[in-house]
Homo-oligomer: A and B are copies of this chain.
């Protein structure tokens, strides 16, 4: 690989590492918020479920909930 490509490679790697570092900081910030929430008496497992729920689009979410209900009922019925 030529010198020019080597410089290009280095630039790519460093740009990615820079952004990954920023991402890491954000992940730590999120962790801090959970820690603080826990100290304030919130149940962090439930908080995580809330975040996950809100991430799913409402349609998928209600559809999935409905199917879950069906399956649980079916299991109940056959027990």
Residues of A within 8 A of B (CB): 1, 3-10, 12-13, 15-17, 19-20, 22-23, 26-27, 29-30, 33-34, 37, 40-43, 45-47, 49-51, 53-54, 64, 67-68, 70-75, 77-79
Do the beta carbons of A78 and B22 come within 8 Å of each other?
Answer: no
List 8 extra interface pairs beyond A1-B73, A13-B75, A50-B71, CB under 8 A. Answer: A4-B71, A5-B40, A9-B75, A19-B26, A20-B51, A23-B23, A26-B26, A43-B64
Given A46-B67, A71-B46, verify A37-B12 contact (CB < 8 Å): yes
Main secondary structure of the interface of A (DSSP, over half): helix
A74 and B19 contact, CB distance less than 8 A: no
A6 touches B78 (CB 8 A): yes
